[in-house]
Chain A
Amino acid sequence: MPKLTIDGREVEVEAGTTILQAAEILGIEIPRFCYHERLAIAGNCRMCLVDVEKSPKPVASCAMPVGEGMVVRTDTPQVQKARKGVLEFLLINHPLDCPICDQGGECDLQDEVMAYGFDRGRYAENKRAVKDKEWGPLVKTTMTRCIHCTRCIRFITEVAGVPELGATGRGEHMEVGTYVEKALSSELSGNIIDLCPVGALTSKPYAFTARPWELKKTESIDVFDAVGSNIRVDARANQVMRILPRVNDDVNEEWLGDKSRFACDGLVRQRLDRPYLRTGGKLQPVTWSEAMAAVAAKLKGLSGAKLAAIAGDMADAEAMIALKDLFTALGSPNLDCRQDGAKLGAQPRASYLFNSTIAGIETADALLLIGTNPRREAPVLNARIRKRWQRNGMPIAAVGPKAELTYKVEDLGESAAVLSAIADGSHPFAATLKAAKRPMLILGQGALARVDGDILLGLARKIADATGMVSAEWNGFNVLHTAAARVGGLDLGFLPGTGGRDLEGILAGAEKGEIEVVYLLGADEIDTSRLGKAFVIYQGHHGDAGAHRADVVLPGAAFTEKDGTYVNTEGRVQRTQRAIFPPGEAKDDWKILRALSETLGHGLPYDDLAALRARLAQANPVFGQLDTVQPASWASFGADGVPSAEPLTTPIDNYYMTDPISRASKTMAECTATFVGCAHKRTGTHG
Chain B
Amino acid sequence: MSSTDDTFQPASFAFTAESLAKAKATIAKYPAGRQKSAVMPLLDIAQRQEGWVSMAAMNVVAEMLDMAPIRVYEVATFYTMFNLKPVGKYHLQVCTNLPCMLRGSEEIVAACKTELGVGLGETTADGLFTLSEVECLGACVNAPVIWIGDDYYEDLDLQSTKTIIQALKRGETPKAGSQTGRQGSAPAGGPTTLTTVGGDA
Residues of A within 8 A of B (CB): 131, 157, 163-170, 173, 175, 177-181, 684-685, 687
Chain B interface residue number, banded: 10 to 19
B25 to chain A, nearest CB (A): 25
B197 CB within 8 Å of chain A? no
The number of A-B residue pairs with CB atoms under 8 Å apart is: 52
A477 to chain B, nearest CB (A): 33
Closest residue to B69 on the A side, CB-wise?
A685
Chain A residues with CB below 8 A from B77, complex form: 168-170, 179
A131, A166, A173: most-surrounded residue (chain B CB, <10 A): A166
- Given the known interface contacts A180-B55, A685-B59, A687-B59, the answer about A167 and B2 at a Cβ–Cβ threshold of 8 Å is no
Closest residue to B62 on the A side, CB-wise?
A685
Q: Enumerate B150-177 residues with CB–CB distance to A below 8 Å.
A: none
Chain A facing B: main interface SS: loop
Chain A residues with CB below 8 A from B80, complex form: 170
Residues of B within 8 A of A (CB): 1-4, 55, 59, 62-63, 68-71, 73-74, 77-80
Q: CB distance B70 to A181 under 8 Å? A: no
Q: CB distance A163 to B1 under 8 Å? A: no
B126 to chain A, nearest CB (A): 30
Chain A residues with CB below 8 A from B55, complex form: 180, 684
Give CA–CA (A252, B79) in the complex, Å: 39
Give CA–CA (A325, B89) in the complex, Å: 84
Give CA–CA (A180, B1) in the complex, Å: 10
13 additional contacts, CB 8 Å, given A168-B78, A170-B77, A179-B73? A163-B70, A164-B68, A168-B74, A168-B77, A169-B78, A170-B79, A170-B80, A177-B2, A179-B69, A685-B59, A685-B69, A687-B59, A687-B63
Q: CB distance B1 to A173 under 8 Å? A: yes
Q: CB distance B69 to A168 under 8 Å? A: no
Q: CB distance A165 to B78 under 8 Å? A: no
Give CA–CA (A179, B3) in the complex, Å: 7
Q: CB distance B78 to A166 under 8 Å? A: no
- Which of B2, B59, B70 interacts with A131 by CB under 8 Å? B2
Give CA–CA (A167, B4) in the complex, Å: 16
- Which of B2, B69, B70, B79 interacts with A175 by CB under 8 Å? B2
- Which of B4, B59, B68, B78 interacts with A181 by CB under 8 Å? B4
Give CA–CA (A175, B59) in the complex, Å: 20
| Interface CB pairs A-B, < 8 A, 13 | A164-B68, A165-B70, A166-B71, A167-B74, A168-B74, A169-B1, A173-B1, A175-B1, A179-B2, A180-B55, A181-B4, A684-B69, A687-B63
Chain B residues with CB below 8 A from A131, complex form: 2
Closest residue to A177 on the B side, CB-wise?
B2
Chain B residues with CB below 8 A from A167, complex form: 74
A131, A157, A169, A181: most-surrounded residue (chain B CB, <10 A): A169
Give CA–CA (A163, B62) in the complex, Å: 12
Give CA–CA (A684, B6) in the complex, Å: 11
Q: CB distance A178 to B1 under 8 Å? A: no
Q: CB distance A168 to B71 under 8 Å? A: no
Closest residue to A175 on the B side, CB-wise?
B1
Q: CB distance B4 to A685 under 8 Å? A: no
Closest residue to A130 on the B side, CB-wise?
B2
